[in-house]
């Protein structure tokens, strides 16, 4: 599905770049958290990893966004939740659209599995596009 990138420093991973995005070029030694995240993502794409243990740097975000991202991490490998179910999980049952916006703002796709959130009637959106979302769900044994 293309080249994914990892951006970070010694404090942790700042973001994961989707295949259509470009991150800054590396100059010098690659920080350990970036190497670790890249290795774990490689294992995921090879079907050898289901969850992640990556040091992530704090990013500027709202409390609601962090609540949504924490809820996403609770969705098990191979399972999906609807935007409404995630909204319920964060105590904001009418905030389905806000959940979608928080997913779109997620700086760590795959590590924080926003691809596991789907619309009530189907796939729903994804910052990397529908084809990438289907690929990731298929990798986890789901087809939509």
Positions annotated as catalytic residues are 114
Compute the distance between CA of residue 127 and CA of residue 80 in angstroms, rounded to an integer.
17
Contact 41, 16 (CB under 8 A): yes
Provide CB contacts within 8 A for 114, sequence distance 6+: 72, 103, 104, 106, 126, 127
Compute the distance between CA of residue 72 and CA of residue 117 in angstroms, rounded to an integer.
8
The alpha carbon dihedral of 16, 7, 61, 58 has a sign of positive
């Amino acid at each position: 599905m293309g080249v994914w990138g990892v951006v970070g420093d010694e404090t942790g991973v700042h973001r994961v770049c989707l295949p259509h995005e470009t991150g800054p070029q590396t100059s010098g030694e690659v920080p350990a958290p970036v190497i670790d995240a890249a290795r774990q993502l490689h294992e995921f794409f090879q079907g050898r990893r289901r969850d992640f243990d990556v040091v992530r740097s704090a990013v500027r975000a709202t409390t609601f966004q962090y609540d949504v991202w924490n809820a996403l991490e609770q969705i098990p490998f191979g399972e999906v939740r609807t935007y409404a179910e995630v909204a319920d999980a964060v105590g904001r049952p009418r905030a389905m659209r806000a959940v979608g916006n928080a997913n779109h703002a997620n700086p760590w796709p795959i590590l924080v599995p926003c691809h596991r959130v789907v619309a009530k009637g189907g796939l729903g959106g994804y910052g990397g596009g529908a084809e990438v979302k289907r690929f990731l769900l298929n990798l986890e044994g789901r087809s939509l």
